[in-house]
Amino acid sequence: MTLPQEVRLSEWNLPDTEVCSAAVRLVLDVSLPVIANHTVRSYLFARELAAARGVRDYDDEVVFLTCILHDLGVTALGGGDQRFEVDGADAAVRFLREHDVAEDRARTVWEGIALHTSLGLVHRFGTEQAVSFSGISLDIDGAEKESLPAGFVERVHAAWPRQDLGFAIADLIAGGIAANPLKAPPFTFPAHLHELLNGSSLTFFDVVRNSGWGDEPVDA
């Protein structure tokens, strides 16, 4: 028998402070199961990767909140006119302020969420942002899964099924952009998915040609 998600949470030693519990309830309420499962796996992978790397001096609650809330931008709660990462980060901070989380900690969560697709950038912002990014990324690209304890991935997937996450979340992001093209600023990850799934996206050369400066291609 499959246990309900609320029960399974206690089996994984997840942070159970008032704000963490409220965050889980929020995500379960507003997200599709494929997204809710992804957010929990992201935290579990982040925590194990940090341990494997010997990284222990970080705020575990902040990492948990970052991972759990990081995809609010693909829900109705996080809808807006910005790329989904930023809409989601803004929604997360609104939630954290409602629960009296200190502004500096809320800002760290905002950065971790807003930058969670920014390879090569997020690690420069802080340990919590980097730890969160590693877990979120691993659940998409599988990088460094060999660093996790034997059997850990299988146990996580049994409790929190993938449901074809990679393709499912791409469809959600691209669907949001089809309804509101403002959500795909040129050259961003959302714009990349927009081109893959919706068939059109501005290129850098489109921007240059439309600038009005008259720049021409340089001869090789």
In whole angstroms, give the CA distance from residue 30 to residue 34.
12
CB atoms inside a 10 Å sphere around CB 3: 11
* Mean pLDDT value of segment 4-21: 81
- At 147-170, the pLDDT tens digits run 999 999 999 999 999 999 999 999
Query: Given this model, what pLDDT does residue 154 score?
Result: 97
How much is the pLDDT for 6? 55
Angle at 93 between CA 90 and CA 98, to 5 degrees: 130
Say whether pLDDT at 1 is over 70: no
pLDDT tens column, 197-209? 999 888 889 999 9
pTM for the model? 0.93
- Rounded to the nearest integer, the mean pLDDT of the chain is 94
Tell me: pLDDT of 188 over 70.
Answer: yes
pLDDT exceeding 70 applies to what percent of the chain?
95
- Any idea where the domains of the chain sit in the sequence? 5-162, 164-213
How many other CB atoms sit within 10 Å of the CB of residue 65? 32
Q: Name the percent of the chain in helix, strand, coil, to the closest 5.
A: 65, 0, 35
pLDDT tens, 61-120?
Answer: 999 999 999 999 999 999 899 999 999 999 999 999 999 999 999 999 999 999 999 999
DSSP-assigned states of every residue in 16-57: -SHHHHHHHHHHHHHS-HHHHHHHHHHHHHHHHHHHHTT---
**220 pLDDT more than 80:** no
Give pLDDT, residue 151: 96
Q: How confident is the model at residue 219 (pLDDT cuts 50, 70, 90)?
A: confident
Q: What percent of the chain has pLDDT over 90?
A: 89
